Amino acid sequence: MVERSCLTVVLAAGEGTRMKSALPKVMHAIAGRPMLGHVLSAAKEAGSGRLALVLGPAMEQVRAYAGQAAAGAALFEQGERLGTAHAVLAARDALREGADDVVVLYGDTPLIAADTLRKVRAALAEGADIVVLGFRAADPFGYGRLILDSAGELAAIREEREASEAEKQVDLCNSGVLAFAGAHMPALVEAIGNDNAKGEFYLTDAVEIGRARGLKLVVIECPETEVMGVNSRAELARAESLMQERLRAAALAGGVTMTDPSSVFLSFDTVLGRDVTIEPNVFFGPGVSVGEGAAIRGFSHLEGARIGQDAQIGPFARLRPGAEIGLGAKVGNFVEIKKSDIAAGAKVNHLTYIGDASIGAGANIGAGTITCNYDGYNKAKTVIGARAFIGSNSSLVAPVTIGDGAYVGSGSVITKDVSGGALAVERSQQIERAGWADRFNEIGARKKRT
């Protein structure tokens, strides 16, 4: 079978005024990734070899992000916002290069699935000229209705204000996502006029034009939630909730145990191995992978971290970007790890900060230990060897190296390297003055009586 070429045009010029934000609407994040990123990912996963993004003026953040998330995508600017067809025609140079399939998506529909887009493209491969993605609405009020003829083919898209009473009872609604056989683009879109109340060019008018030209029109259905647009903070929160449900379901199906799935928040790229256990109230930011059999205890916050097989994290642990936790290692309660590798079997059990450090296999880091890695201008590294023991309440002033098997006495401030197998203790000599406390208390009691 010959592979079909595909151009996906993503409309992302909307200002999103209802978001009440300085951030462009499509840059608001769902599961740790901008909404636009989810749409681009779905398009690429569905086999789109070319991407064209239509942006509004002065959308530099979107341009910069698109350059990272979709390298090679063609960027176009819609100077005036005169409707969806007008936006598509802003990318006419990309349309004229030709493609077997042309799919039009929206940057604010982050839940669109690659499987759905594959079905849309399959309909084009089977001979459809125009494919409209529809959904069955629980409450169709306000949506354009997809009106089918007696043969079950799409006859029209009827907007709410123009629908008859009978048509208003139809629950099959228009998502706005359309796909075209490339041979009919851009001529179909260029034929769209603006003879309507708003004087705008609507892409949905291509259906009526296509039917008049005898083209084959097909409707593909998908779940309503998949094509929900995000135009407000409330809708952003709803989309986040739906995405989390999707990610949790995939994790559970992959062999992960969650004692309270609804309280676990995953990122779009979270990787969880088989037999991982996640306790309640755990947050995964972008860039986290967890090896098989690891346990993530409650109230932990992880981002940009790799966790090895059978490791234990938390409760109340924070792993920041660059944290590398080895096989069977333990990171306990109220421990923060940043840009550090904790080797196999090492233990950092409580009340500790480890930053810009390397902890050797089997080392033990006592409670209250701090790696002093920042002097106000530069970061420096701490190296702790295998099987080293760091006593509680120690401060390790970087750059410093603690050798294999070395022992640091509790309460020490270590500013020089410690040889392997050696004991290092740095603290003031303890002084005891007999009877001092009794005299102090006696004087204090007299003063209180007077």
Q: What angle do CA 4, 103, 129 make, to 5 degrees?
A: 70
How crowded is residue 298: how many other Cβ atoms within 10 Å of its Cβ? 18
Catalytic residue at 301? no
307 close to 325: Cβ distance less than 8 angstroms: yes
Query: Residue 208 phi/psi, 5° resolution?
Result: -65, -40
Residue written as token pair 């802003």: 90
* Beta-bridge partner residues of 301: 283, 318
CA–chain centroid gap for 144, Å, is 31
CA distances from 305 to 134, 334, 340, 384, 416 (A): 40, 17, 10, 20, 30
- Between CA 73 and CA 93 the distance in angstroms is 13
**Amino acid identity, position 61:** Q
What 8-state DSSP symbol labels residue 227? G
Q: What angle do CA 413, 418, 423 make, to 5 degrees?
A: 80
12 close to 52: Cβ distance less than 8 angstroms: no
User: Which of 38, 184, 301, 350 is labelled catalytic?
Assistant: 350
Query: Residue 71 phi/psi, 5° resolution?
Result: -55, 135
Query: Residue 184 phi/psi, 5° resolution?
Result: -100, 5
330-356: buried (b, 16+ CB within 10 Å) or exposed (e) per residue? Answer: bbbbbbbbbbbbbbbbbbbbbbbbbbb
Taking 3-state DSSP, the helix, strand and coil percentages for the chain, each rounded to the nearest 5, stand at 25, 30, 45
336 close to 356: Cβ distance less than 8 angstroms: no
Residue written as token pair 């390397």: 358
**Amino acid identity, position 406:** A
- Between CA 144 and CA 167 the distance in angstroms is 10
> Which SS3 state, helix, strand or coil, does residue 390 take?
strand
The residues carrying an active-site annotation are: 350
